Amino acid sequence: MGKRHQRMILPSEVVEAAKRNEKENMRFRSYLKRVADADVLDQQFMALHREIFPRYNCAKCRNCCKLMHAEIPEEDIERDAVCLGMTKQEFIASHLKQVDGEWQEIHQPCGFLDANGDCILGENRPESCKKFPYTDQPERLFSLFSFLNAVSVCPAAYEICERLKQLYGFGRYRKRHDDTERFDNQAPGFSFVAGYTSWGFPYGVPEASEEQKDQEADEELPF
Protein backbone atom coordinates (compact mmCIF):
# COMPACT_ATOMS: atom_id res chain seq x y z
CA MET A 1 0.00 0.00 0.00
CA GLY A 2 3.02 2.28 0.03
CA LYS A 3 4.51 4.25 2.87
CA ARG A 4 2.22 6.02 5.27
CA HIS A 5 2.33 9.78 5.46
CA GLN A 6 3.92 11.12 8.64
CA ARG A 7 0.66 12.84 9.46
CA MET A 8 -2.69 13.35 7.83
CA ILE A 9 -3.24 16.73 6.25
CA LEU A 10 -5.03 19.21 8.53
CA PRO A 11 -8.56 20.47 7.83
CA SER A 12 -7.14 23.97 7.46
CA GLU A 13 -4.68 22.77 4.79
CA VAL A 14 -6.73 20.47 2.61
CA VAL A 15 -8.50 23.04 0.41
CA GLU A 16 -5.28 24.69 -0.77
CA ALA A 17 -3.49 21.36 -1.13
CA ALA A 18 -6.31 19.99 -3.28
CA LYS A 19 -6.18 23.11 -5.46
CA ARG A 20 -2.44 22.59 -5.99
CA ASN A 21 -3.07 18.96 -6.94
CA GLU A 22 -6.17 19.61 -9.04
CA LYS A 23 -4.60 18.92 -12.45
CA GLU A 24 -2.78 15.85 -11.19
CA ASN A 25 -5.96 14.56 -9.55
CA MET A 26 -7.92 14.97 -12.76
CA ARG A 27 -5.21 13.10 -14.67
CA PHE A 28 -5.36 10.40 -12.02
CA ARG A 29 -9.11 10.13 -12.47
CA SER A 30 -8.63 9.63 -16.22
CA TYR A 31 -5.90 7.10 -15.54
CA LEU A 32 -8.12 5.07 -13.22
CA LYS A 33 -10.95 5.18 -15.75
CA ARG A 34 -8.59 3.61 -18.29
CA VAL A 35 -6.79 0.99 -16.25
CA ALA A 36 -8.56 0.18 -12.99
CA ASP A 37 -10.74 -2.86 -12.50
CA ALA A 38 -14.00 -1.68 -10.90
CA ASP A 39 -14.20 -4.48 -8.32
CA VAL A 40 -10.53 -4.24 -7.38
CA LEU A 41 -10.78 -0.47 -7.02
CA ASP A 42 -13.78 -0.88 -4.68
CA GLN A 43 -11.69 -3.26 -2.57
CA GLN A 44 -8.85 -0.75 -2.46
CA PHE A 45 -11.18 2.09 -1.46
CA MET A 46 -12.77 -0.06 1.23
CA ALA A 47 -9.45 -1.18 2.71
CA LEU A 48 -8.19 2.41 2.92
CA HIS A 49 -11.51 3.60 4.33
CA ARG A 50 -11.39 0.98 7.07
CA GLU A 51 -7.79 1.85 7.88
CA ILE A 52 -8.08 5.63 7.90
CA PHE A 53 -11.51 6.53 9.29
CA PRO A 54 -11.25 4.71 12.63
CA ARG A 55 -8.27 6.91 13.52
CA TYR A 56 -9.77 10.15 12.21
CA ASN A 57 -12.05 12.28 14.41
CA CYS A 58 -14.56 13.81 12.00
CA ALA A 59 -16.14 15.86 14.81
CA LYS A 60 -12.93 17.90 15.08
CA CYS A 61 -13.00 18.66 11.37
CA ARG A 62 -16.47 18.89 9.83
CA ASN A 63 -15.11 20.59 6.71
CA CYS A 64 -17.91 18.89 4.81
CA CYS A 65 -20.47 20.67 7.03
CA LYS A 66 -18.60 23.97 6.95
CA LEU A 67 -17.76 24.19 3.26
CA MET A 68 -20.56 22.29 1.49
CA HIS A 69 -24.35 22.53 1.43
CA ALA A 70 -26.38 19.51 2.54
CA GLU A 71 -29.23 18.36 0.31
CA ILE A 72 -32.47 17.43 2.07
CA PRO A 73 -34.74 15.00 0.18
CA GLU A 74 -38.30 16.26 -0.23
CA GLU A 75 -39.63 13.25 1.66
CA ASP A 76 -37.45 14.08 4.71
CA ILE A 77 -38.47 17.70 5.18
CA GLU A 78 -41.54 17.18 7.36
CA ARG A 79 -39.74 14.63 9.54
CA ASP A 80 -36.78 16.99 10.01
CA ALA A 81 -39.08 19.88 10.82
CA VAL A 82 -40.73 17.83 13.57
CA CYS A 83 -37.27 16.90 14.88
CA LEU A 84 -36.50 20.60 15.35
CA GLY A 85 -39.95 21.51 16.69
CA MET A 86 -40.92 23.45 13.57
CA THR A 87 -43.66 23.32 11.01
CA LYS A 88 -42.66 22.30 7.53
CA GLN A 89 -43.06 25.88 6.32
CA GLU A 90 -40.92 27.26 9.17
CA PHE A 91 -38.24 24.68 8.48
CA ILE A 92 -38.09 25.56 4.79
CA ALA A 93 -38.01 29.30 5.51
CA SER A 94 -35.25 28.93 8.09
CA HIS A 95 -33.01 26.37 6.41
CA LEU A 96 -33.72 25.57 2.78
CA LYS A 97 -33.69 26.82 -0.77
CA GLN A 98 -34.23 24.99 -4.03
CA VAL A 99 -31.23 24.55 -6.33
CA ASP A 100 -31.76 22.69 -9.61
CA GLY A 101 -34.92 21.16 -8.22
CA GLU A 102 -33.28 19.93 -4.99
CA TRP A 103 -33.74 21.30 -1.47
CA GLN A 104 -30.42 22.58 -0.15
CA GLU A 105 -29.43 23.88 3.29
CA ILE A 106 -28.75 27.62 2.93
CA HIS A 107 -26.21 28.30 5.68
CA GLN A 108 -22.46 27.97 5.64
CA PRO A 109 -21.38 26.42 7.94
CA CYS A 110 -24.44 24.19 7.89
CA GLY A 111 -27.27 25.42 10.10
CA PHE A 112 -27.61 21.91 11.55
CA LEU A 113 -24.02 21.85 12.87
CA ASP A 114 -23.70 22.45 16.61
CA ALA A 115 -20.72 23.71 18.60
CA ASN A 116 -19.55 20.17 19.37
CA GLY A 117 -19.35 19.17 15.72
CA ASP A 118 -22.55 17.14 15.87
CA CYS A 119 -25.63 17.37 13.66
CA ILE A 120 -28.72 18.54 15.50
CA LEU A 121 -30.78 16.31 13.20
CA GLY A 122 -29.03 13.28 14.69
CA GLU A 123 -29.93 10.08 12.88
CA ASN A 124 -32.38 12.09 10.78
CA ARG A 125 -29.53 13.75 8.93
CA PRO A 126 -29.52 13.09 5.17
CA GLU A 127 -28.15 9.81 3.87
CA SER A 128 -25.75 11.81 1.69
CA CYS A 129 -24.26 13.31 4.86
CA LYS A 130 -24.08 9.95 6.65
CA LYS A 131 -22.22 8.35 3.73
CA PHE A 132 -19.87 11.24 2.90
CA PRO A 133 -17.21 10.99 1.46
CA TYR A 134 -18.61 7.73 0.02
CA THR A 135 -15.25 5.95 0.09
CA ASP A 136 -16.89 2.78 1.43
CA GLN A 137 -19.61 2.77 -1.23
CA PRO A 138 -19.64 0.49 -4.31
CA GLU A 139 -18.86 1.47 -7.91
CA ARG A 140 -16.24 4.07 -7.07
CA LEU A 141 -14.80 3.86 -10.57
CA PHE A 142 -18.01 5.39 -11.92
CA SER A 143 -18.13 8.26 -9.41
CA LEU A 144 -14.63 9.66 -9.45
CA PHE A 145 -15.70 13.27 -10.03
CA SER A 146 -17.67 13.28 -6.78
CA PHE A 147 -14.70 11.63 -5.05
CA LEU A 148 -12.44 14.48 -6.16
CA ASN A 149 -15.00 16.96 -4.83
CA ALA A 150 -14.71 15.19 -1.48
CA VAL A 151 -10.90 15.27 -1.73
CA SER A 152 -11.10 19.08 -1.93
CA VAL A 153 -12.61 19.39 1.56
CA CYS A 154 -12.06 16.13 3.47
CA PRO A 155 -8.62 15.29 4.88
CA ALA A 156 -9.46 11.57 5.05
CA ALA A 157 -10.56 11.51 1.39
CA TYR A 158 -7.42 13.47 0.48
CA GLU A 159 -5.33 10.84 2.26
CA ILE A 160 -7.13 8.03 0.43
CA CYS A 161 -6.50 9.74 -2.91
CA GLU A 162 -2.79 10.14 -2.18
CA ARG A 163 -2.51 6.54 -1.01
CA LEU A 164 -4.21 5.34 -4.19
CA LYS A 165 -1.69 7.31 -6.23
CA GLN A 166 1.09 5.56 -4.33
CA LEU A 167 -0.59 2.21 -4.91
CA TYR A 168 -0.81 2.80 -8.66
CA GLY A 169 2.61 4.46 -8.91
CA PHE A 170 1.01 7.59 -10.34
CA GLY A 171 2.38 11.12 -10.74
CA ARG A 172 5.01 12.08 -8.20
CA TYR A 173 4.85 8.54 -6.81
CA ARG A 174 5.86 7.00 -10.13
CA LYS A 175 9.08 5.05 -10.03
CA ARG A 176 11.91 6.20 -12.28
CA HIS A 177 11.92 4.72 -15.74
CA ASP A 178 15.22 2.95 -15.20
CA ASP A 179 13.75 1.19 -12.14
CA THR A 180 11.00 -0.43 -14.21
CA GLU A 181 11.05 -3.49 -16.41
CA ARG A 182 8.40 -4.30 -18.96
CA PHE A 183 7.16 -7.87 -19.19
CA ASP A 184 6.46 -9.63 -22.48
CA ASN A 185 3.95 -12.39 -23.19
CA GLN A 186 1.05 -10.64 -21.45
CA ALA A 187 -2.58 -10.77 -22.51
CA PRO A 188 -3.28 -8.85 -25.76
CA GLY A 189 -3.90 -5.17 -25.23
CA PHE A 190 -2.06 -4.87 -21.90
CA SER A 191 1.47 -4.30 -20.73
CA PHE A 192 2.66 -4.44 -17.15
CA VAL A 193 5.22 -2.26 -15.41
CA ALA A 194 7.37 -3.96 -12.79
CA GLY A 195 7.80 -2.26 -9.46
CA TYR A 196 4.25 -1.00 -9.15
CA THR A 197 1.94 -2.74 -6.71
CA SER A 198 -1.78 -3.25 -7.13
CA TRP A 199 -4.19 -5.71 -5.55
CA GLY A 200 -5.46 -8.04 -8.20
CA PHE A 201 -2.58 -7.34 -10.60
CA PRO A 202 0.38 -9.57 -9.63
CA TYR A 203 2.79 -7.83 -12.00
CA GLY A 204 1.67 -4.26 -11.61
CA VAL A 205 -1.00 -1.92 -12.93
CA PRO A 206 -2.22 -2.65 -16.47
CA GLU A 207 -1.88 0.13 -19.01
CA ALA A 208 -4.87 0.56 -21.30
CA SER A 209 -4.64 -0.12 -25.00
CA GLU A 210 -5.46 2.69 -27.42
CA GLU A 211 -8.82 1.04 -28.11
CA GLN A 212 -9.64 1.04 -24.39
CA LYS A 213 -8.64 4.69 -24.08
CA ASP A 214 -11.07 5.54 -26.88
CA GLN A 215 -13.84 3.71 -25.01
CA GLU A 216 -13.32 5.51 -21.69
CA ALA A 217 -16.69 6.16 -20.03
CA ASP A 218 -17.39 9.49 -18.35
CA GLU A 219 -20.85 8.90 -16.85
CA GLU A 220 -20.98 9.53 -13.11
CA LEU A 221 -23.26 8.20 -10.38
CA PRO A 222 -25.11 10.79 -8.26
CA PHE A 223 -22.98 10.30 -5.13
pLDDT band per the 50, 70, 90 thresholds, residue 7: confident
The full set of domain ranges for the chain reads: 11-61+135-214, 71-125
CA dist., res. 158 & res. 33, Å (int):
19
**Strand partners for 102:** 99
Lowest mean pLDDT among 24-33, 130-139, 180-189: 180-189
Compute the half-sphere exposure of residue 42: CA atoms within 13 Å on the CB side of its CA. Answer: 8
- Give the Å distances, CA to CA, from 125 to 17, 63, 91, 105, 133: 29, 16, 14, 12, 15
Name the residue type at position 65: C
Taking each helix axis as running N to C, give the angle between helix 22-35 and helix 11-20, from 0 to 180 degrees, rounded to the nearest 10.
Answer: 70
**pLDDT(5) > 50:** no
Q: Is 152 helix (H, G, I), strand (E, B) or coil?
A: coil
pLDDT tens string 112-122: 999 999 999 99
Percent of the chain's residues with pLDDT above 90: 72
CA dist., res. 122 & res. 151, Å (int):
25
Lowest mean pLDDT among 71-75, 143-147, 208-212: 208-212
Beta carbons within 10 angstroms of residue 25's beta carbon:
23
**pLDDT(186) > 90:** no
pLDDT band per the 50, 70, 90 thresholds, residue 6: low
The reported pLDDT for the residue numbered 24 is 96
pLDDT band per the 50, 70, 90 thresholds, residue 149: very high
Q: Are strands 71-72 and 102-105 parallel, antiparallel or unpaired?
A: antiparallel
**Which tops the pLDDT comparison, 220 or 53?**
53
Which among 84, 74, 66, 65 is positioned nearest to 122, based on CA atoms? 84
The reported pLDDT for the residue numbered 171 is 86
Q: What is the mean pLDDT of residues 130-145?
A: 97
Asked if residue 133 has a cis previous peptide bond (ω within 30° of 0), the answer is yes
For residues 121 and 80, is the Cβ–Cβ distance under 8 A?
yes
For residues 175 and 197, is the Cβ–Cβ distance under 8 A?
no
The reported pLDDT for the residue numbered 210 is 42
pLDDT tens string 64-99: 999 999 999 999 999 999 999 999 999 999 999 999
Name the residue type at position 13: E
**pLDDT(196) > 70:** no
pLDDT band per the 50, 70, 90 thresholds, residue 193: very low
Which among 156, 155, 58, 63 is positioned nearest to 108, based on CA atoms? 63
